[in-house]
Chain A
């Protein structure tokens, strides 16, 4: 059974940095094709992809947030950490991590996310 759980502060102040940890079980981020991604969802709004780290430790970021994001993995601990700098009230959201799979197949790219963690709500306020 694959499970993921996010943890981190529920409240951060504007300009501070946010560090979130995703602890997972049931798969290895050392296995070919495996990825872990972070996605956020402001209250009442749509999903927004943030970052991905893959089994080869390659990292990809949402271009609009790239300068503020850092993703890292610890394969031995089954953990992925996301750091976001210079937090603003508009960053208030539920942050999810999810297992992903990636493959390149005949010019098309397989990128699905399943399952997702329960999410952690982060509020940015002074």
Chain B
């Protein structure tokens, strides 16, 4: 079965840039999506179709996808960005999520 691999955790200082990777075989041939899940809340879509932001998502959230890796970059990370982040891809018959990355802002 298809798998997406993310680092389990990472930390970043406020104001710095966080880059969260998501790797999968030929992931660049598919669209990548990113969800933010804060503690005790439901996931929220923050990036769709590789690099588009839904309405209301700050410009500091940037997505890219090429080759075997999709990346979510958060520039000027803020304390409110501390959360779990999940990548996702899909095709005509199914969906797969990555294992999630816990981002700590300290």
Contacts and interface: CB of A to CB of B under 8 A. Distances in A.
Interface of A: 37, 39, 46-49, 52, 60-64, 96, 102, 104, 107-119
A108 B31 contact: yes
B30 A46 contact: no
Interface on chain A toward B: helix, strand, loop, or mixed SS? strand
A62 B94 contact: yes
A21 B100 CA distance: 26
Q: Which 7 A-B pairs have the closest CB atoms?
A: A111-B90, A114-B45, A49-B95, A116-B42, A47-B97, A112-B48, A46-B100
A117 B43 CA distance: 9
Contacts of B91: 109, 111
Interface in B68-85: none
A37 B95 contact: yes
B99 A109 contact: no
Given A110-B31, A111-B90, A52 B95 contact: yes
Contact of B94 (A39, A49, A96): A49
Residues of B in contact with A, size category: 20 to 34
Contacts, number: 70
Contacts of A116: 42-44
Contacts of A61: 94
Given A114-B45, A116-B42, 17 more contacts: A39-B97, A47-B86, A60-B93, A60-B94, A63-B94, A96-B42, A102-B90, A107-B29, A108-B31, A109-B90, A111-B88, A112-B33, A113-B88, A114-B48, A115-B45, A117-B42, A119-B42
Contacts of A49: 94-97
Contacts of B100: 46-47
Given A104-B92, A108-B30, A109-B90, A115 B97 contact: no
A62 B28 CA distance: 22
